[in-house]
Structure formats: structure tokens, C-alpha cells
Chain A
């Protein structure tokens, strides 16, 4: 099998960049949502839960289209971003980050929510009686105890982002070097009569990345609960 071309590398690195940024962007939002869904009871909770999970079941092309309507040059958020910050996300790699973040959000929120729900709140109360403020109890008890879910959800959402196709190509199209991520590059190669072997190469790389991410998530999940205790010993 021949070596990877510059364009192949470009799409692989772009995918990794988009995946990493989408995790960074969605991490605080996902944690906030997970915390509220795990800890707070409110009337609209089923609606919020459904909205968070929606990208999981909606056809990705619909999600991409909705993103285009919202963040596009004439969309409400798109206009606002342009007027205030001079930023355009449509047809840019930053738009691919938004698409990937939205598509990865359900995985991230679900992992974090399960983890937060499993934290015994009576242990937090024990921390309070020992002199910890609510914030300190959060940082020293709630957060470390929910870390496996936070990390696991992040890794899975990263893997999901690296492989995002439908919403991305709909929202930001297929621009080499800007929005042609790994799966979109594979798709493009398959459109050309001579692209078969290159597409297979990139597909193998995509498979490797996905398996790697799942293994990392699994390893972290096993190790973290033990590792977090040591530094305070």
C-alpha cells in the first residue's frame, strides 16, 4: 500500500483538530447540562433532555441544515457573530467544530449525567460538616467522583466528532484544507473513479482512530477512580 498523500494528512489532521476543539467547546456546556439534568428538578426537564438527545436520532443532514439556518451568514446567530465579532463559521473549519460539538453532545451529556447521578450526595454533605463550602465540596468530592464519566464521555464525543460526516458536509460543505475532514475526504475519494485504494487507506485509519478512542476511554474509566485518590494522600 502506498504512502499517504499530503491531502490525506491534511484531512486527518483537520479531523483531529476539529475533534479536539469540539470537545473543548462542548465540555463546559455539556457539564452544565449534565449537572442540571442530574441534580435539578424542573417542569421542562423532559423537553431539555429530548433536545440534548435529538442529534443522536435526527438525520444528520437535518441537524446540518438547522445549523446552516442558525449559524449561516443570514441566520440569527450567524448574523450576530458577524456583526459583533466579524466571525463567520459557515463553510469554515470553525463551523465543522460546531457541527461536531452538537453531534457529540448527547454522548458527552449522557456519560456525565450518569456519573453525576451515581455520586452519593450524602458524601457531599459529610464534606460540608467537615468544613467544606458547597464549592469546595464540589471540587473535592463531586468532581473527582464523577471524573470517569466526564473523561469517558469526552473521549467518546471526540471519537464521534472525528468521524462526523452528515451534519458537517451539510453545514460547512467540502472544502479541501478547510472543511474536508477525514470522512468527507473518504466520501470525495469514492466519488472519483481512481480513488478506491486511497479511500480504503483512509478508512483503515478512521477505524484505527475509533478503536483507539474506545480503548482509551475504557482504560481511563478503569484507572481514574484509583488514580484520583493518590495525590491527596
Chain B
């Protein structure tokens, strides 16, 4: 269970998020520039909130009142960035292994080969990220985050930079992923179609605040 209750300001605008999520995909929906990425960054420990708490299974990752701010590398939160941010100097295998190798054997939830198979990466392992298509790069980014055995997966508009055909190429992988891993997944998007296809719950960013949408 991920419990988020944070607030910050970005320029003039206040950004807030208040929600609890369990296993399965929760969509964080809203127009571009509404602060969705800021919310993810606060959960991942990339941006420090002004106030509030982030709890994961009852453990505080951030608590302004108690002065707790666990750095991103010890939060065990996998992030799939919109701009992918693959390591250009490493092969696909090197990218996938980066976080995987930092997890002790006993704590590894995913096996390397399972993730490679799940995302159809077996033919790409020796390639360099810059030689891959946008969709392939995004699959590597997802695999890289999964292999660090995250306790939560944050996906920031993973399909936004892809054209229609590429989106249709990735969506089945995301559905497989959702069904294969038992993880809370926050899926940021501004596309209603992705929400309806993937998400069990929806949070909407409205007036700078992420709130649950009551169906």
C-alpha cells in the first residue's frame, strides 16, 4: 500500500496529492502541465515536497514533520520516465542489469529472463539504446525499472512520445505487465483511451490536486 499526502509549489502554482493505492494500475490523469510529473517526482524522491508524507507499507519514505527523507536509491520505487533516460554508453543488457545487479539475490523478485521475455527484448540485448526505435527504448526502460525489484512502479506517460502504431505495439506489453506483476503501479497519462484500457482506478489532477475520481 502506497499512501501519499504531499504538497509543494511549482512557480506560482500549488501541487498537491492525496491518495492511497494498492496493487494494480492506478491512472493519474490530467492535461499536460497539470503537475502529474511533479507528483511522481515527489513519490520517487526526486523532488522534495514542502510538506506531507509518503508511506510505503506503513514505512515512511518522506515525512516533513519527522524530518524523514529517504534518498531515491533506497526507496525501491521503479520509475519509467517519459523521456526514457536510458544509459547511452551501455547496451540494452547493461541497462537492464544496472538496477538488477544492485539488488541482493535473495531480494530479486523478477528473473532477468522472465522480464526479457515479457517485454520481447531478447533480440535487442546487444544493441545500444540510440539504435533502437522509440517503442523499443520504452520497453527497455520498463524492463530496467522492473528488474530493480521495485515495491512500486511509477510510469510517466510511457506512450506519449510514440505515434499511434507504436502505442498499439506497447499497450499489449503493458497489459501483460499489469497481470504478471503484483505491484502498485501509478500510470500517468493524458490519454483517456489508455486509462480505460489499463487502469482499475483513476486519479485526476484538477486545480493542482490529485484526487480520486468517483465513478
Verify if A230 is at the interface (C-beta below 8 Å from B). yes
Interface residues on B, range: 20 to 34
Given A123-B87, A229-B91, A230-B91, the answer on whether A133 and B97 have CB atoms closer than 8 Å is: no
Residues from 196 to 233 in A contacting B, C-beta threshold 8 Å? 225-226, 228-230, 232-233
Q: Which of B46, B87, B88 contacts A129 (CB 8 A)?
A: B46
Name the interface residues of B115-152: CB closer than 8 Å to any CB of A: 125-126, 128, 144-145, 148
B90 and A130: CB pair below 8 A? no
| Contact B79–A126 (Cβ < 8 Å) | yes
Q: Mark B64-88, 1 if CB is under 8 A from A, else 0.
A: 0000000111111111010101111
Given A145-B89, A233-B93: A130 and B128 interface contact (C-beta under 8 Å): no
What's the least CB distance linking A48 to chain B, in Å?
A: 29
| Set of chain B residues within 8 Å of A133, measured between Cβ atoms | 71, 73
Q: Is there contact, CB below 8 Å, between B103 and A131? A: yes
- Report the bound CA distance from A134 to B78 in whole Å: 17
- A126 and B90 alpha carbons, distance in the complex (Å): 14
Contact A229:B94 (CB < 8 A) given known A125-B46, A128-B72: yes
> A132 near B: Cβ within 8 Å?
yes
Q: Is B102 an interface residue (CB 8 A)?
A: yes
B89 close to A130 (CB less than 8 A): no
CB contacts under 8 Å to B, within A135-158, are 136, 140-141, 144-145
B118 to chain A, nearest CB (A): 18
* Residue on A nearest B84 in the bound complex, by CB: A126
Are B144 and A130 interface neighbours, CB within 8 A?
yes
Taking Cβ atoms with an 8 Å cutoff, the residues of A that contact B are: 120, 122-123, 125-133, 136, 140-141, 144-145, 225-226, 228-230, 232-233
Q: How long is the Cα–Cα vector from A132 to B99 in the complex, in angstroms?
A: 8
B98 and A127 within 8 A (CB): yes
Give the interface centre of A127, A130, A145, A230 by most chain B CB atoms within 10 Å.
A130
CB-defined contacts of B145 to chain A, threshold 8 Å: 129-130
Contact (Cβ within 8 A) B79 A228: no
Report how far A136 CA is from B126 CA in the complex, Å: 23
The answer, among B77, B79, B88, B91, for a CB contact under 8 Å with A233, is B91
Asked if B73 contacts A131 (CB within 8 A), the reply is yes
Determine chain A's interface SS by DSSP, over half rule. helix
A226 to B126, CA, bound (A): 12
Please tell me if B4 contacts chain A, counting CB pairs below 8 Å.
no
Structural contact, B85 and A123, CB atoms closer than 8 A: yes
The reply to whether B90 and A127 form a contact with Cβ atoms under 8 Å apart is: no
Q: Are B98 and A130 in contact (CB under 8 A)?
A: yes
Q: Is the CB of B102 within 8 A of A232?
A: no
Q: What are 20 A-B pairs with beta-carbon distances under 8 A? A: A122-B85, A123-B86, A123-B87, A125-B85, A126-B81, A127-B98, A128-B72, A129-B46, A130-B78, A130-B99, A130-B102, A130-B148, A131-B73, A131-B76, A132-B98, A132-B99, A133-B71, A229-B89, A233-B90, A233-B94
Which residues of B have CB within 8 Å of A126? 79, 81, 85, 87
Asked if A125 and B72 make an inter-chain contact with CB atoms under 8 angstroms apart, the answer reads yes
What 7 pairs across the A-B complex have the smallest Cβ distances? A130-B99, A126-B85, A131-B102, A233-B91, A232-B94, A128-B72, A129-B79
- Across the interface, which residues of A come within 8 angstroms of B46, CB to CB? 125, 128-129
Query: Measured between C-beta atoms, what is the minimum distance from B140 to chain A in Å?
Result: 12
**A99 to B48 alpha-carbon distance, docked (Å):** 47
Q: Is the CB of A132 within 8 A of B89?
A: no
* B17 CB–A CB distance under 8 Å: no
With a cutoff of 8 Å between Cβ atoms, the chain A residues found around residue B45 in the complex are: 129
